[in-house]
Amino acid sequence: MRGAMKWAPPALALTALVEIVVFVVLGRAIGYGATILLIFAGSLAGLLVLRHEGVRAWRRFRAAAESGTPPGRQVTDGLIGLGAGLLLAMPGVVTGVTGLLLLIPPLRAGARAGVQRATERRMPSMVAGDLFGPRRVRVRQGTPRADTPPPADAPPAAQSTAAPADPAAPVLEGEIIEPRR
């Protein structure tokens, strides 16, 4: 996370520079008054989207919590919707277009899947299972590859054997379910 934060100031400066360039180009093309009205209308639409998405996300989260299903999908979808509204509410053409794109269902689903994958990588599998439900994995039968280290809690005999995996081995589909401790 710290590595990503070092890129935040340059990214914000670059975004501001791109917004200014796009504003000037669009202003020369359709007029500065029309460009300002376009940005103002986008910001107003963004505020409405923020309100709508916030209420929608809260209702879906409560419904998931009351039904006992994992709320991760609803939380992630709500965050994507709130991010889209926030981008629309920010004054600027590029951020507004990005916010509008996040409201399109296929793009929103892709963003939701990306956020879910990133979240699952950063949290323990038990917490990810509680948040997003059981995860589906693909497992190959056979011995581990030579470049894959064995788990630290594996017996010493398993730690010393490492042979290449058989690519023709069948793939087993399943879920990771860890017992509660």
What is the per-residue pLDDT across 40-58, written as a single tens digit (0 to 9) for each? 999 999 999 999 998 998 8
The answer to whether residues 123 and 75 touch, using CB atoms and an 8 Å cutoff, is: no
The pLDDT value given to residue 162: 45
The pLDDT value given to residue 179: 56
The answer to whether residues 61 and 74 touch, using CB atoms and an 8 Å cutoff, is: yes
The pLDDT value given to residue 7: 86
Report how far residue 63's alpha carbon sits from residue 85's, in angstroms, rounded to the nearest whole number: 22
The pLDDT value given to residue 151: 59
Q: Is residue 97 part of a domain?
A: yes
Q: Write out the residue range of the structural domain in which residue 103 sits.
A: 12-134
The pLDDT value given to residue 149: 61
Q: Is residue 143 part of a domain?
A: no
DSSP 8-state secondary structure symbol assigned to residue 172: E
Which tokens in the block code for residue 98? 């990005």
Q: Is residue 85 part of a domain?
A: yes
Q: Is residue 173 part of a domain?
A: no
Range from 3-17, 106-120, 141-155 carrying the lowest mean pLDDT: 141-155
Exposure on the CB side of residue 66, measured as CA atoms within 13 A: 6
Mean pLDDT for the chain?
A: 80
Q: Span 131-147, mean pLDDT? A: 65
Q: Is residue 171 part of a domain?
A: no
Confidence of residue 174 (pLDDT cuts 50, 70, 90): low
Confidence of residue 165 (pLDDT cuts 50, 70, 90): low
Q: Is residue 43 part of a domain?
A: yes
pTM for this model (two decimals): 0.66
The answer to whether residues 116 and 122 touch, using CB atoms and an 8 Å cutoff, is: no
Q: Is residue 30 part of a domain?
A: yes
Residue 11 predicted with pLDDT over 60:
yes
- CA–CA distance from 179 to each of 6, 61, 126, 144 (Å)? 38, 25, 9, 25
Q: Span 85-106, mean pLDDT? A: 93
Residue 117 predicted with pLDDT over 60:
yes
Q: Is residue 142 part of a domain?
A: no
Confidence of residue 97 (pLDDT cuts 50, 70, 90): very high
Question: What angle (nearest 5°) sits at the alpha carbon of residue 141, between those of residues 138 and 146?
Answer: 100
Report how far residue 89's alpha carbon sits from residue 97's, in angstroms, rounded to the nearest whole number: 11
DSSP 8-state secondary structure symbol assigned to residue 150: P
